[in-house]
Structures are given as structure tokens and as C-alpha cells.
Structure 1
Amino acid sequence: MADNCNLVSILGVLLILTIFHNPIIVNAGEGVPNVALFTFGDSYYDAGNKVYLSKDKNPPQVNWPYGKSRDDPNGKFSDGHIIPDFIAEFMAIPNGVPPALKPDANVTRGVSFAVTDASILGSPVESMTLSQQVAKFESIISNWTSDYIKRSLFMIYIGTEDYLNYIQKHPDADATKQQAFVTSVITQLNTDIKSLTNLGARKFVVQLLAPLGCLPIVRQDYKTGNDCYELLNDLAKQHNEKIGPMLNDFANSPAIDGFQFTVFDFYDAIIRRTQRSLNYRFYVSNASCCGVGTHNAYGCGKLNVHSKLCDYQRSYLFFDGRHNSEKAQEEMANLLYAADPNVIQPLTVRELIVYPNGEKMREFWVPNKFSARRRLPSQDSYARFSAY
């Protein structure tokens, strides 16, 4: 018996040594096809396009402390990486996707068309509407084959500017006028997505709007203190609830073969971190790390503004008045790529990438019943879901 025990012990030691000598390494992009990533939208996805459109030769986003976490102020509104950077990393795209307006950019594995201040409606100054971004994509589409475009990923996040500008200009708009404006925004978004499908795009990731009333810049502008500005939150929710059904219609349309999509509930992910910030190890969720004012919401990166800068940006949900810290952006990217269906559905981004090209979807978007259900104030309903 003793000899048998000794033999088992020796075999166990040898097994452990073998595992450590030949570790199993899972690389980014493993099991994912070599496809491109195309991003459209506003400053949340802007890889640096605004720098090429701005009359300001030294815009804030190219100055420290932007890029602080990586010692690289590179034109992005973050202390480091933004969501598309992490998605590109997961897809094994070297160096992420470049801005479309950068001369001689290597666009082999995709490109960013997103521009700061972009909107769905209107004519933004020194920026591009979503339809203009789609037109830019069309102008350089010869860089990729039609088959490659069909297999590649198209990510969209836009709408913040539309609703911030609308409420600024129409603070007393009644519910009917608000609904009409939301409908006009969604109608144009539908048209722009249809234009992308006409150019061959088939795999879409649409990120829902954040709770806009909880942005530090909104809290500061509307003097809400620790509260969110619920009028803007309501508009964001009205917008968001129309996205899933719209994409379901595209997927079920006989006119568009093989349309595939997923929806990321960015609103839900941010509101959880706003209301239960310590569950996610964010110690400040109502003010930003960099800026001036009651919520440090203005002036980050501007050379003529003596901005405050927090000691440790990873403890903040927001880095500046509108944009999340790199830590939060990384969390969002992980939720996008492989998360619980409560926050991204009907597929994760990884599932969407590997889903057979041209095949009809078997699952579709459904309302998030848990998020929609009304709860008593005493219920700590977020504590059970701190994983996302």
C-alpha cells in the first residue's frame, strides 16, 4: 500500500512539472477568423479622426493627461484604450484600427470612421454625421473584397450629441415632441444601417446609449448634484428600446440576406456602476478624474485650463466629463466580447464573428425583462449581478 501511495505521489509531481513546463496558453484571437473591424460613431469610438478635422492645431485629446495610463496621448478621449481597442486586441488585430482620416493608414484589418461630436441628425461642426461616415467608408471600399466585408464586424455607437443638443435647445419639450424627435433619430439610423448593408456589411454590433443624465458634464450643467438628470435618461431609454426591434426587422427582412447582429446594453452596464459603484471597485462614479467644476467635467487636456487630476484614475468610472476611464472601457469590451445575455444579446461579439456567414439567425433580440421590471427601493437588486 505504501509503495502504491509513493508511486501516486511521484506521478502527481511529474504531472505538475509537465504542466508548468508546457503551459496551455490561450492567445487573443484564437479560434476567431481573420476579419476586419469597422467602427462608426462619436467620441466613444473615435480613434483620432477629430484631430484631422479640428481647426485647433493642439486639441485637448492629444495632450496629457489623455493617454495617461499608457503614456500616450493619441487623440482618443480616454486615459488609455477605448472599447474598440480592446475588441481589436481580442480579434488579434495588430495595433488596433486606425482613424480613417489618417494619411497612409494601414486599413487591412479595418478602420475607425467615428468622429468626436458626430451625430445622427444635423450638421455637426468639424465632425461628420453617421451618413457622412458611411459615405467615407464607401469612398475607400476598394481596399477590401466584398466577401471580406461580409465576414467583418461593424460596430456603431452614436446618438449622444443628438439628445444633448435637443434638450439644450428644447428644455420644455413635452412628451409628444420628445417621442417625435426620438422617432426621427431612429428613422435616420435605420437608413444609415441600410446603407451599410447595401455596401455589403452583414455583421453589426450596436451599443445602446449610456444613461446620458448621469454623465458628469450633465450633472454639472444642470446642477443635479449627486442625482442624474432624468429627462435625458428617459430620452436615452426611449431611443434604446427601439434599437432591438429595428435590428430584428433587418434580420427578418427577405431583402437583406444573412443580416446578423447583437445589441450591447451599455445603459444597464453603466447604471449599475453608477448606482452600485463599489461592487465594481469604482470609488467615484458621479464626477470625472480630470477637469474643472463641481464634477470636474470641463477642460481636461486644454492647455489654458488648470484642470484637476485625480490621484488614481482606475478608481473613477469617468475619466473626463463624458468618457469612461480605461478600466471601465476594458470592462465594457469584455462584456461585449463574452458576457451574460442580460447585457449583450442575442450573441456575444465572439459568437457573432464566428457565426456562419450568410446564415439566418436562430435567436433574436428580446426585451431585458429583468432591467424593465420595477423594484422596491429597498431591494438591492444590483448586488447579485456585479459580474457585469
Structure 2
Amino acid sequence: MAVQRAAALHLMLLVAAAAASVAAAGAKVPAMYVFGDSTADVGNNDYLPWSIARADFPHNGVDFPGGKPTGRFSNGLIGVDFIAIAMGFSRSPPAYLSLMATAANRSSEAPRNMTMAAAAAAYTTGANFASGGSGLLDSTGSTISMTQQIEYFSDLKDEMSTRLGAARVSDLLSKSIFLISAGANDAFDFFSQNKSPDSTTIQQFYEAMISTYDSHVKTLYNLGARKFAVINVPLIGCCPYLRSRKPSGECVEQLNQLAKSLNDGIRVLFSNLSLEMQSMKYSISSAYELVSSLIKTPHAAGLEEVKSACCGGGRFNAQRGCIPSSNCCNDRSKYLFWDLLHPTQATYKFAGLVFYDGPAQFVSPISIKQLVEA
């Protein structure tokens, strides 16, 4: 398996080189490496035949350039795209598995007009490893776990070092942004399996989450990461799906409290890690505070509807997922939520701008912009 991955990685250089060098021309950092769940997935799950957590069909992508689904769980671009654009890239780096699949289908003989120097640039602009349905815990979901995502990155780093030299790669990674958007699926799974958890059960879950997050960050640090852009657990109890399951149509506050507790732990974790690990810097974007704020004052982002999904079916348009036969709203720019769980492009755009260079209420202890410039 490792040999096959290495061969595909070698070919991936040749496939992506030209596009990568153009995309990075105006970038403020050498590269962006993305890890997480469906809030950051740009198409990795399209290459998992067994996964039902997919967005490679309409109405997804209706507002994406070309109007086609891309594997993003949204009507268009998502938050990591807008953050990448703010950093000078064209959008999020491509899905890692899309590059692997393309490389595997090509001849092992490089096109003559593609030099190895240009090919090496393909690795140095980043990759997106996020997988819809995954979590921080290996037991969450059945897609690409965070552990596997980091193993993919480790493979990528090994190939980069072979091509470019260990010293150059170490310097490149130390200046790149490592974005993590994860934790919501873990909380969903825990809540679905424990309808009325006692304090001991909640504490055990909390400790497992923070300990696992700690391990993942340290692994990335040991692989060369120094700049971490973290997006915390959203206000998940207010998503349309959970509203649709409550007779009152209100948020599930118990789940929101669980998310808040996890976010408190994540904040303390990164503060401690930054003291422990030399040269580590971090920025935490609060998806929790952002969604909470937009529900209270939607007009701040030009939104109007904050309870119902734009695409779906049933109560709150959220008792069924977004599929080709679903009801789909006409004015998608006015909706906070695209489907039963995920935001619209309009919400993601506002979030991306706020997380990149917004007030401390939404991003701290420094903004992503400050992290980029550090």
C-alpha cells in the first residue's frame, strides 16, 4: 500500500505542477494544508465508493463556477476556499485523493515539456485532506480519519523531501498554514449514542477529545507544522436537522453546551502547546460564536433565514438531505444554512473574511492574517 501511494505521489507531481505554480504566484504563504470534516472537504469523499457522506451531485455546487458539484457540501465555495483566497491562492488546495486518482490514471512517463523543477512546485502549494463525516477520534465516522489524513500528509512530506531536500521542505512547512476544522462529528456521534449522559460520561468524552487533539497537533508539529489555523466546534445544536427533530423547533442546548465545553478545552490546549513547543503559533476561529451571532443578527451578513435549510425536504427543509429531487430555495444568498447541517456559500464567505482578519470575538489570540504575517 505504501509503495503504491509513493508511486502515485511521484506522478502527482507531474499532474499538478503547472496549475500549482500559477495558483501560488501571489500567495502570502508557501502552502496551505487542510485537515478536518465536511466543513473543509473539497472532494476527497468523491473517491470513497463506500461512503454515503458525499456531495458529488446536484444541487450541490449550483453556485460554484460552472455550476457543477465538486464534492463540497455547499451551493458553492466553502470557508477554507475564502481563507485561501484571502492568503492569495485561487481557492483551497485540491483534494488529496483527486490528485492521487489523476496521477494513478496517467502514464508513469512524464510529459517532455514538464521539467522536474516545475513538477516539484506541485507539492509545495498544499493539499486538502479533509473528509466529510470524519472526526478527531478514529471511532467517529467511516471516512478518512484524522489519523489517516495526517498519515497521507506524512507520505506527501516524504516525497517532497526526496524531491526538494529535507532542509528546504522543513523551511517551507514552517512558513505554511495548517488548517484544522474538526470536532462537530465527534460531538454528534457522542450525543446520538448518549441521549442523557451523566457527568462522568461527558467528562470521559471530553478528556478523550482533548487528548486526541493534543496527539494530532504534536504529530503535525513533529512533521514540520508551526502555524496552526484552527476552526472550533460550531453551534451544532442549532442546525436545521436538529431543529426539525424538536417539537418546539428550538436549538438542542445540551449539544451546544457540549460544543462550548470542547471549545474551552481546545483553547486551553493550544495555549499550553504554544508554551511547550518552540516556534509554534496558532489562531482559533470561533465557528461557535459566528453562528450564534448570525442567528441573533443575520442582517450583519445580509442573511434573512437562519432556521431552515435552503436545500432539502420536510420540516425546516431538513428532515431529508439535499439531493437532486430536493426543494431548493431561489435566493441562496439569504440563507444561513445550505442543507440540514452545512452553511451556504454566503455564510462561508462572511466567516472566511471574519476569521481571516476579524475581531477577537471571532478569532483569537491572533487572526489568521496575523498568523500568516508572523
Band of TM-score, shorter chain: 0.7 to 0.9
2:108 aligned with 1:112: no
Unaligned runs of 5+ in 2: 1-22, 104-121, 162-168
Identity of aligned residues (%): 28
User: 1:282 is matched by which residue type in structure 2?
Assistant: L
**Preserved CA contact (<8 Å) 1:262 1:347:** yes
How far apart are the structure 2 equivalents of 1:34 and 1:221?
Answer: 44
How far apart are the structure 1 equivalents of 2:91 and 2:357?
Answer: 21
- The alpha-carbon deviation at position 183 of structure 1 amounts to 1.5
Alignment of 1:204-283 (within 5 A): 204-225=228-249, 227-253=250-276, 256-283=277-304
- State the SS of the aligned residue for 2:208: helix
Which of 154, 172, 176 is residue 196 of structure 2 equivalent to? Answer: 172
Q: CA RMSD in A?
A: 2.1
TM normalised by structure 2 equals 0.81
- The alpha-carbon deviation at position 79 of structure 1 amounts to 0.6
Which shows bigger deviation, 257-266 or 96-105? 96-105
Alignment of 1:1-388 (within 5 A): 33-55=28-50, 61-70=55-64, 71-102=67-98, 103=100, 104=102, 106-141=122-157, 142-143=159-160, 145-225=169-249, 227-253=250-276, 256-303=277-324, 306-355=325-374
Distance 1:31 1:245, change over 3 A: farther
Distance 1:272 1:30, change over 3 A: farther
How far apart are the structure 1 equivalents of 2:329 and 2:24?
Answer: 35
- The alpha-carbon deviation at position 49 of structure 1 amounts to 0.5
Q: Deviation digits for residues 24-83 of structure 1, max 9, x if unmatched?
A: xxxx99996341011110000001011111336x97512221111121211100110011
- State the SS of the aligned residue for 1:189: helix
- The alpha-carbon deviation at position 84 of structure 1 amounts to 1.0
- The alpha-carbon deviation at position 232 of structure 1 amounts to 0.3
- The alpha-carbon deviation at position 273 of structure 1 amounts to 0.7
How far apart are the structure 1 equivalents of 2:355 and 2:190?
Answer: 29
Which shows bigger deviation, 160-169 or 139-148? 139-148
How far apart are the structure 2 equivalents of 1:341 and 1:108?
Answer: 31
How far apart are the structure 2 equivalents of 1:180 and 1:126?
Answer: 22
Distance 1:268 1:140, change over 3 A: same
User: 2:274 is matched by which residue type in structure 1?
Assistant: A
User: 1:89 is matched by which residue type in structure 2?
Assistant: I
Distance 1:54 1:116, change over 3 A: farther
**Preserved CA contact (<8 Å) 1:52 1:101:** yes
- State the SS of the aligned residue for 1:334: helix
Unaligned runs of 5+ in 1: 1-27, 356-388
More helix per residue: 2
- State the SS of the aligned residue for 2:149: helix
- The alpha-carbon deviation at position 175 of structure 1 amounts to 2.4
- State the SS of the aligned residue for 1:69: coil
- The alpha-carbon deviation at position 94 of structure 1 amounts to 3.5
**Preserved CA contact (<8 Å) 1:49 1:113:** yes
- State the SS of the aligned residue for 1:66: coil
Distance 1:230 1:138, change over 3 A: same
TM normalised by structure 1 equals 0.78
Q: Deviation digits for residues 154-207 of structure 1, max 9, x if unmatched?
A: 111111111111111110111232122112111101111111001010000111
How far apart are the structure 1 equivalents of 2:141 and 2:349?
Answer: 30
**Preserved CA contact (<8 Å) 2:48 2:143:** yes
User: 2:337 is matched by which residue type in structure 1?
Assistant: F
* Structure with larger Rg: 1
Distance 1:286 1:189, change over 3 A: same
User: 1:317 is matched by which residue type in structure 2?
Assistant: L
Distance 1:65 1:31, change over 3 A: closer
- State the SS of the aligned residue for 2:314: coil
- State the SS of the aligned residue for 2:35: strand
How far apart are the structure 2 equivalents of 1:107 and 1:223?
Answer: 51
- The alpha-carbon deviation at position 132 of structure 1 amounts to 1.6
